[in-house]
Chains A and B, each alone.
Chain A
Amino acid sequence: GAVVSQHPSRVICKSGTSVKIECRSLDFQATTMFWYRQFPKQSLMLMATSNEGSKATYEQGVEKDKFLINHASLTLSTLTVTSAHPEDSSFYICSARAETSGRAWGEQYFGPGTRLTVT
C-alpha cells in the first residue's frame, strides 16, 4: 500500500479562499518532506523543503506567504495555499524521506498528489 498519503486528492475552491493539503508518512518517520508542483506534461518543480520543527526552505520564485508549509511532526506536513487564484491551479505532490531503519534509509517516497482547481 501507499506509504505517503495526501489529502484531499482533489479540491475545487473559489478564488480568494485558502486550501490546506495534508501529507502524511504512514509507516515511517520523515525528518524531511518536500513539496512539488507539476503542470500538465511537465516535470516536478520543487517548491520547498520542510524539516520537522523548523521553517521551510522555499525555492526561488515561490512565495512563502502564499504557500504556507508547516511540518509539525515527523509524520505530517501541510501546505496551505492562501488567497488562492486561478493561476494556483495545479497538481501538488508531497514527498517524504525515510530517516529510520524501518524503511531504506534516505529513500524518498511520494504521495499520490492533490489536484487543485481554483475557480
Chain B
Amino acid sequence: AQTVTQSQPEMSVQEAETVTLSCTYDTSESDYYLFWYKQPPSRQMILVIRQEAYKQQNATENRFSVNFQKAAKSFSLKISDSQLGDAAMYFCAYRSKNSGNTPLVFGKGTRLSVIA
C-alpha cells in the first residue's frame, strides 16, 4: 500500500518570504498523481497543485511550485512571496492511476503559520 509522509508538523514563514514544505511517499507504481491540498480555518479543502508522475517538468501555479524528485519519491511544495492568506494546513496526497475508484492517500499535514 502507498504511504505519504510529511515530516514537518508545523512550519512558519515571514510574510513575503519563501517556505518549502516536505513530502515523501512510498509506492511501487510507476505512474500516479501527486497533489498538495490546502485546508484553511474554514476547513474547505482546496487543491493547490497537481503533478503527474510521468511528467518530468515540475508543476507551477502562480506562487506555488513543486520539486518533484521521482527517484527519491519526494514531492516538496515551495510557496514564494508568502501571504497571510497562505496560513493553513497543507496536505500532500497520492493517487494511483490504476482505476477510477482509487482514493487519495493523505499525509498527516503541515500547519503553516505566516508571520506579519
Q: Which A residues fall within an 8 A CB radius of B?
A: 2, 31-32, 34, 38, 41-44, 46, 49, 51, 57, 91, 93, 95, 97, 99, 106-108, 110, 112-113
Contacts and interface: CB of A to CB of B under 8 A. Distances in A.
B101 A113 contact: no
Given A93-B45, A112-B42, A43 B109 contact: yes
A34 B102 CA distance: 10
Contacts of A46: 103-104
A42 B9 CA distance: 10
| Majority secondary structure of chain B interface residues (helix, strand, loop or mixed) | loop
Contacts, number: 46
Could you say which of A31, A44, A95 has the most chain B C-beta atoms within 10 Å of its C-beta? A44
A93 B91 CA distance: 15
Contacts of A43: 91, 106-109
A49 B45 contact: no
B98 interface: no
B44 A110 contact: yes
B100 A32 contact: yes
Of A91, A93, A99, most buried by chain B (CB within 10 Å of CB) is A93
A91 B45 CA distance: 13
Contacts of B45: 44, 93, 95, 110
Contact of A113 (B43, B47, B111): B43
Interface in B1-53: 33, 37, 42-47
B40 to A, nearest CB: 11
Contacts of A107: 47
B43 A32 contact: no
Given A91-B43, A112-B42, 19 more contacts: A34-B104, A42-B109, A43-B91, A43-B106, A46-B103, A46-B104, A49-B103, A51-B101, A93-B43, A93-B45, A95-B104, A106-B33, A107-B47, A108-B47, A108-B95, A110-B37, A110-B44, A113-B43, A113-B44
